Chain A
Amino acid sequence: MLRYRFLFEQMVRRELRQKYKGSALGVLWYLVNPLVLMGAYALVFSVLWRVVDIPDYPLFLIVGLIVWVFFAQAMLAAAPSLVLNAPLVRKVRFPREAIPASVAAVQLITFLVMLVLVIPVALAVRGTLDPALMLVPLIVALLFCLVLGFSMVASVLHAHYRDVEPVLAAALLPWFFITPIFFRVEDLPGVSDHRWAGDLLEWANPLAPFVRGLRDVIYSGQAPSTGTLLYMLGAGLIALAIGVVVFRRMERDLAVVL
């Protein structure tokens, strides 16, 4: 992997250039998306509908939203990435993993910029500096592993079966609503009667622990539970391992199917 650091860096630069060509605000546009979502959900749920009673609700929202936007945008960009780079894959021999990896890395950059903006705001709002913040790099690294694994699978599957992208796009919307981004699982009225439903929402969705973990650290200023930390570690590494294995298996004939 180290051998290809230079290639990876070049591919990320190429991806960035292609994304932001001709837009004066460049990377800023990608920050607008979660901010607009944050504004809309805060307005609906906390001001108009008043179903949530969570202090500093916009801050609560934005932490979950940036995790989601990172994941969803990376998936949507990774799925067609091999197909879009077909001329490269068909005519040059290089490690093809670099393509979905560079797409995921570009989304990581946006995510990091968002974090850099959100963390000082959270500190100011809470007024305390907590040692739990030291966990942010670890959580980010594990989340990137998860996103990378999913991106690799999405890209190589889409190269072989061209309806993967639309299926994915359709799946992401309900996925968003069952991920505890604008609510807390324990606040849901039905969960106190059906404990299993709460557990399902908390643990069956690989993204939920990351939302919860990052929110614990940034929004609440406390370390996530050991269970959550272990889950993130497992989910990140397993997703990456599956991604690598699936990609290796299916990349063999890439130059032919594209």
Chain B
Amino acid sequence: MSLRPGEIVLDNATRSFALRHERSRTLKELFVRRGNEAGASRIDALREVCLHVEPGEAVGMVGRNGAGKTSTLRCLAGIVPLDSGRAECGGRTVSLLELGAGFGEDFTGRENILLNGALHGFERGEIEARVDEIVAFSELGDFIDVPVKAYSAGMYLRLGFSIVAHLDAHVLLIDEILAVGDESFQRKCLKRISEQMAAGATLVLVSHDPTAIERVCQRVVVLDGGRVAFDGDTADALLFYHRLLGAEAPREKLRASRGELEVTGLELRDSGGAARHMFRSGESMTVALKLHARTPADRAVVAIEVRDSRGETAFRTDTTAGEIREGAEIEFEVPRLAMLGGDYDLAVGAYDQDAPQVLDRIARFSIAQTSDGEGLVDLRGTWTVGGRSSPEEALRS
């Protein structure tokens, strides 16, 4: 059964790698230690992975290091054969798995465009027709005629991505490379990808950056230990993935926090008291917590932390909740979300004053940007030009 262009099928895809053998064997070894093969330990990179992607879908792939993300992409791209099962992409597949993998060091940027096109199976005419567009998109200017060995990582990305994004692929496989680029180029890449999706292309994007994934993917696959641990809606999958990461924290800490106090409920509410995950910049938000004490706690502390999409702390506060016998309901009110658009994690924790501080309940929320400005915080400033503040700004404040 042949696939439609843009369709992706993984059917019980299994692949393991030998740890010591296979890599750089010598003829001598071949003759000297023939019988030893079976003793080589193997790592299962993919275990019976099943996945079906429809044309036009954008699928994100997340997982811890070694979970099998890159192996999956390499099998899909046909670079690494499977031990058993099936991994196929319908139509023309273009992959960007490593920065500058297909570059000739001594070639100029322009020459590398031709080389890369050729590597992806394009004819001279097809690729030459796109050169100008690619050069313009990359914004490399005069550097396009300089040998790429003089390029920075960011410039490699600009060129590499610009090429791949203009090859009109049915299936795009991209591995963790967008992180190298600067913010504005990243946004431009994601926009270009979205355009290709709209034209019917299928995308598989591996990334550690949830923002990038949320911006383009409606569906996310979480891989763990070479298996599909979760496959579904982006928000649910990322939440699942965060929990997976949370479960990885050192054991003693978890036991210490679980022992006495636990956050059993966490809800984000708007001014009307309704639960929400989407807020507008400037709105009010209430964090409602339910605590449970297994044994009465005298010196309970409740902490709240807001993290940006890269995991950096944007805000943190805690309070002494005092004596908690069984359960308690605690609220934290934010009168005005002074943040610009983006995705945030809100982590909460309850612990005894002397116990390790563990924030193990996480809720995600997004801020929709309604005002101008870039960055994290909305300072709500007013411009004054020539003694008069602009009417637009005056209106808003």
Contact = CB atoms under 8 A, between A and B. Distances in A.
To the question of whether A and B form a pair in one complex, the answer is yes
A252 B81 contact: yes
Nearest to A89: B79
B122 interface: yes
Interface of A: 3, 6-7, 9-11, 13-14, 17-18, 21, 87-94, 160-164, 167, 252-253, 255-257
Nearest to A91: B101
Contacts of A162: 24-26
A214 B104 CA distance: 36
A87 B79 CA distance: 12
Contact of A255 (B26, B28, B80, B121): B80
A160 B21 CA distance: 11
Contacts of B97: 91-92
A94 B121 contact: yes
Nearest to B124: A6
Contacts of B74: 90-91, 255
A7 B118 contact: yes
Nearest to A167: B27
Contacts of B80: 253, 255-256
Interface of B is mostly: loop
A226 to B, nearest CB: 39
A163 B31 CA distance: 13
B67 to A, nearest CB: 18
B101 A90 contact: yes
B79 A14 contact: no
A86 to B, nearest CB: 10
Contacts of A256: 17, 22-23, 80
Contact of B105 (A3, A18, A89, A163): A18
A76 to B, nearest CB: 17
A161 B107 contact: no
Interface string B72-115: 00100111110000000000010101101110111100010011
A17 B95 CA distance: 25
Interface in B178-198: none
Given A161-B25, A161-B26, A163-B28, A18 B106 contact: yes
Contact of B81 (A9, A21, A253): A253
A135 B97 CA distance: 48
A7 B97 CA distance: 19
A87 B123 contact: no
B150 interface: no
Nearest to B26: A163
Given A6-B123, A7-B119, A91 B26 contact: no
A123 to B, nearest CB: 37
Contacts of B379: none
A6 B118 contact: yes
A159 to B, nearest CB: 9
Contacts of B47: none
B122 A88 contact: no
B120 interface: yes
Q: Which 4 A-B pairs have the closest CB atoms?
A: A91-B101, A14-B104, A7-B118, A10-B118
B30 interface: yes
Contact of A21 (B23, B106, B115): B106
B123 A91 contact: no
A164 B25 CA distance: 11
A10 B120 CA distance: 12
